[in-house]
């Protein structure tokens, strides 16, 4: 549909037809067909014409009105025109207007200019030209201001939307971070790093690596008997209280917990085995501190056993499409578990394998003694087992160090079937250190062998 282009309208108002005709003629000469010139012979006619033109969508940049008219004074007409269209410029044309009338027109109608009668054609032309130009400038400025206002409003809306999106993004990031942190409580960060993954979302079923890792197993002694004295709620409180004290010792030594198995802990240490050994020692020291709070009959002190082994393991993910888990597979895992179980037999809290012992960066910094050689299930060769007793009480630790030479000679004699020498040396050890549970165990073995074959 073609848009109708309407010319801007200039209205001339006077009660004398000759004046109107002259005005119209002068304006046509000055502006040609650039403007549509309309005339009215009085104030009421002018108002009616003005309203019709506005209603029809015409733009009226200028009205020129006489002052002395029978039905309405020019200042009153311009005031009422101003109420209808404040942007239309007003020019008063008369030789009889009082200063008061002009002041009223300026005050109430924003009178643009006053031209006296008879007018000079050049003055009329310049006045109308300046008025129309001023109107056009004001209109363009208003349009630009309106555009600027709209742009500002749109920018504010976009800014609000952007701020809202930022808030939503931050909330989602916080939620995602919380989820990721929550996931990391189930899948440790170190596990992801070993698989060279940055996020749990990157892990696929069956991914695995083969690497030398130290495995630590720990378990509470007589937990079944202990748990029978507690309610289910107290059981969980006890286990969580205990595990929360053990966890820092592992984390602080650059290890991570692979899984909790009831009251048992399986932890992995990548890198130097010293981390695993130090972690095990710290666990026992924290247990000593924890036991200072367990002095009542219903809260007896607890004991744990720790076994550590180092070896080549396969670390990866196992499971199905709906459930998978991270784990480690290998003989080294089985031996670490076996060593933890042997702590009950030998009556000591911490045992390590010869593989771990040989790989220690500085074994002299620890209190370690050889105690036995054991067969691993499914293997034909024996594995040397060592006791780490750094976490023993100072008195017991000193006595073990003082008797270490006799103790290790006794063990060597026992394995060489020289039980007579073994018994003599073991008795010497127990005389100096009556609390040496391993020496007691070997002495009992010797006595049982003697009773069997004599």
177 occurs within a structural domain: no
DSSP conformational letter for 334: H
Are 357 and 400 in a shared domain? no
Question: Percent of the chain beyond pLDDT 70?
Answer: 86
The CA distance from 327 to 65, in Å, is: 98
pLDDT tens for 242-284 read 999 999 999 999 998 888 888 899 999 988 999 999 999 999 9
- The answer for 120, left when phi > 0, alpha when psi is -120 to 50, beta otherwise, is beta
Which of 76, 111, 144 is where one domain is finished?
Answer: 144
**Tokens 């594995």, residue located:** 383
The pLDDT of residue 30: 82
10 Å CB burial of residue 47 (0-12, 13-18, 19+) is: middle
160 occurs within a structural domain: no
The pLDDT of residue 318: 64
Residues found in the chain: 454
Q: Which two tokens stand for residue 100?
A: 């008061």
Is the omega angle on the peptide bond into residue 28 within 30 degrees of 0, that is, cis? Answer: no
The CA distance from 38 to 20, in Å, is: 9
Positions of E strands within 98-207: 113-115
Confidence of residue 226 (pLDDT cuts 50, 70, 90): confident
Are 343 and 222 in a shared domain? yes
Are 263 and 309 in a shared domain? yes
CATH assignment at residue 116: 3.40.50.2300
Q: Where are the alpha helices (DSSP H) in 187-326?
A: 189-194, 223-227, 232-251, 274-291
The pLDDT of residue 23: 87
Are 253 and 104 in a shared domain? no
Q: Which long-range contacts (CB under 8 A, 24 or more apart) does 98-102 make?
A: 101/67, 101/73, 101/74, 101/75, 102/75
Are 397 and 384 in a shared domain? no
Are 247 and 345 in a shared domain? yes
Are 354 and 433 in a shared domain? no
Confidence of residue 348 (pLDDT cuts 50, 70, 90): very high
Are 356 and 250 in a shared domain? yes
The pLDDT of residue 384: 93
What pTM was computed for the model? 0.62
10 Å CB burial of residue 67 (0-12, 13-18, 19+) is: buried
Confidence of residue 194 (pLDDT cuts 50, 70, 90): low
3 occurs within a structural domain: no
165 occurs within a structural domain: no
181 occurs within a structural domain: no
**Total domains in the fold of the chain:** 3
**Tokens 């031996």, residue located:** 335
Domain extent, residue 58, equals 9-144
The pLDDT of residue 118: 82
Q: Where is mean pLDDT largest: 139-143, 353-357, 417-421, 450-454?
A: 353-357
The pLDDT of residue 224: 83
pLDDT tens for 153-188 read 889 888 889 889 898 888 888 876 766 565 545 556
The pLDDT of residue 219: 94
Q: Which two tokens stand for residue 300?
A: 């007896």
Instruction: Reply yes or no on whether the pLDDT at 44 is more than 80.
Output: yes
Average pLDDT over residues 112-121: 80
Instruction: Reply yes or no on whether the pLDDT at 386 is more than 90.
Output: yes
The string of DSSP codes covering 72-89 is S-HHHHHHHHHHH-TTSE
């Amino acid at each position: 549909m073609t848009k109708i282009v309407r010319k801007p309208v200039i209205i001339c108002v006077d009660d004398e037809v000759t004046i109107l005709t002259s005005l119209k003629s002068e304006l046509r000469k000055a502006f040609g067909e650039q403007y549509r010139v309309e005339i009215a012979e009085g104030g009421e006619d002018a108002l009616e014409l003005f309203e019709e033109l506005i209603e029809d969508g015409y733009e009226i940049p200028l009205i020129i009105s006489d002052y002395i008219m029978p039905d309405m004074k020019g200042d009153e007409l311009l005031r009422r025109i101003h109420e209808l269209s404040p942007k239309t410029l007003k020019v008063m044309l008369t030789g009889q207007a009082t200063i008061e009338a002009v002041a009223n027109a300026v005050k109430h109608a924003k009178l643009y200019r006053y031209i006296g009668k008879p007018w000079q054609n050049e003055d009329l032309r310049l006045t109308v030209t300046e008025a129309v130009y001023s109107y056009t400038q004001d209109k363009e400025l208003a349009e630009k201001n309106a555009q600027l206002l709209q742009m500002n409003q749109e920018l504010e809306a976009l800014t609000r939307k952007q701020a809202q999106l930022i808030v939503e993004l931050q909330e989602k990031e916080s939620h995602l971070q919380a989820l990721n942190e929550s996931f990391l409580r189930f899948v440790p960060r170190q596990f992801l790093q070993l698989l060279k993954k940055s996020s749990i979302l990157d892990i696929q079923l069956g991914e695995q690596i083969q690497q030398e890792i130290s495995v630590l197993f720990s378990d509470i002694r007589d937990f079944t008997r202990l748990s029978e004295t507690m309610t289910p709620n107290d059981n969980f409180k006890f286990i969580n209280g205990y595990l929360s004290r053990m966890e820092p010792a592992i984390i602080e030594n650059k290890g991570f917990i692979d899984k909790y198995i009831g009251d048992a802990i399986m932890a992995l240490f990548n890198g130097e085995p010293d981390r695993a050994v130090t972690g095990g020692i710290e666990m026992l020291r924290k247990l000593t501190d924890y036991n200072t709070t367990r002095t009542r009959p219903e809260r007896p002190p607890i004991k744990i056993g720790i076994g550590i082994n180092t070896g080549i393991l396969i670390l990866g993910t196992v499971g199905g499409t709906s459930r998978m888990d991270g784990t480690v597979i290998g003989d080294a895992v089985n031996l670490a578990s076996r060593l933890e179980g042997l702590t009950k037999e030998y009556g000591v809290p911490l045992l390590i394998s010869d593989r771990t012992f040989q790989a220690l960066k500085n074994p002299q910094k620890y209190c370690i003694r050889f105690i036995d050689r054991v067969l691993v299930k499914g293997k034909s060769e024996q594995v040397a087992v060592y006791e780490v007793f750094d976490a023993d009480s100072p008195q017991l630790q000193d006595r073990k160090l003082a008797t270490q030479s006799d103790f290790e000679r006794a063990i060597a004699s026992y394995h060489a079937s020289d039980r007579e020498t073994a018994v003599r040396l073991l008795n010497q050890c127990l005389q100096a250190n009556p609390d040496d549970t391993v020496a007691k165990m070997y002495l009992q073995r010797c006595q049982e062998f003697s009773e069997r074959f004599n």
